[in-house]
């Protein structure tokens, strides 16, 4: 099938970007990234610069392949990353607009590739347990309520793709930060550092120029792992308690 692609091209962080149109043929059996690979092969054969985009596992696990397709992070399917999106979703003659995540916290590096190292710094601020929990048998002997274990695992499924930020009208990173805090704060091993963790991660998130959360809910809809905004409510409660403890 023939497609008309409008792809955001930007030579560097300080350069002015623009949409460039490409006509290409694609098989309905291709993934979206495989279609971009074909476009890049055509560009390189013509002596042109290929489109720069992030990808790694191409199995919906790593969260690397973030881009906005026709105005929606990761494209039209729910619970799907770009690498899992297939061209059978589109028809012959369709026009597709492809652009990078749009957020101050995710500066564009080139074309569709953005710098998501802000997420790494948020995790480094408190998304870990540093207190002694004993050896593996000791840790496994600690009783954890099944409900808490399941909620913790749900939060831990976050792959850090950044779709929540791209979907949010405020470019907030609250869903990501909440998930990374919740999967530790719900476990007994995470209690000693719980409130310090919350303060440090929120302060870092704010310093990284992400917007504030206004409970719009777009983050939950865009999340490929369907993480619920319940974790944001939990983080807000913990944040208030942390402020009281610190005062």
> What's the confidence (pLDDT) of residue 247?
81
What mean pLDDT is predicted for residues 52-79? 96
55 phi and psi angles, rounded to 5 deg: -160, 155
Cα–Cα distances in Å, from 14 out to 17, 111, 137? 9, 12, 52
Cα–Cα distances in Å, from 181 out to 94, 105, 116? 41, 19, 18
Handedness of CA 228, 230, 232, 238 (dihedral sign): negative
What is the distance between the alpha carbons of residues 119 and 216, in angstroms, rounded to a whole number? 21
Q: Decide: pTM greater than 0.85.
A: yes
- What does the pLDDT look like over 28-65, one tens digit per residue? 999 999 999 999 999 999 999 999 999 999 999 999 99
Is 68's pLDDT higher than 80? Answer: yes
> Could you tell me the domains of the chain?
2-110 (3.10.20.30), 116-246 (1.10.1060.10)
Q: Which of 144, 153, 155 is nearest to 182 (CA)?
A: 155
């Amino acid at each position: 099938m023939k497609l008309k692609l409008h792809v955001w091209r930007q030579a560097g962080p300080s350069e002015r970007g623009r949409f460039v149109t490409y006509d290409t043929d694609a098989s309905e059996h291709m993934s979206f990234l495989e279609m971009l690979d074909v476009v890049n092969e055509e560009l390189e054969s013509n002596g042109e610069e290929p489109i720069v985009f992030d990808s790694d596992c191409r199995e919906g696990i790593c969260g690397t392949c973030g881009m906005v397709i026709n105005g929606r992070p990761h494209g039209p399917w729910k619970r799907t990353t770009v690498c899992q999106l297939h061209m059978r979703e589109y028809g012959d003659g369709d026009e597709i607009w492809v652009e990078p995540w749009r957020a101050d916290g995710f500066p564009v590096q080139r074309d569709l590739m953005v710098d998501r190292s802000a997420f790494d710094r948020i995790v480094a601020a408190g998304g870990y347990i540093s207190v002694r929990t004993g050896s593996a048998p000791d840790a496994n002997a600690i009783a954890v309520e099944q409900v808490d274990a399941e909620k913790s695992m749900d939060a831990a499924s976050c792959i850090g793709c950044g779709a929540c930020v791209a979907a949010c009208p405020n470019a907030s990173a609250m869903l990501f930060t909440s998930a990374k805090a919740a999967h530790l704060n719900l476990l007994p091993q995470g209690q000693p550092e719980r409130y310090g963790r919350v303060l440090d991660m929120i302060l870092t998130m704010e310093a990284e120029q992400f917007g504030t959360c206004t409970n719009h809910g777009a983050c939950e809809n865009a999340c490929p792992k369907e993480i619920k905004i319940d974790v944001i409510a939990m983080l807000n409660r913990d944040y208030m308690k942390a402020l009281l403890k610190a005062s």
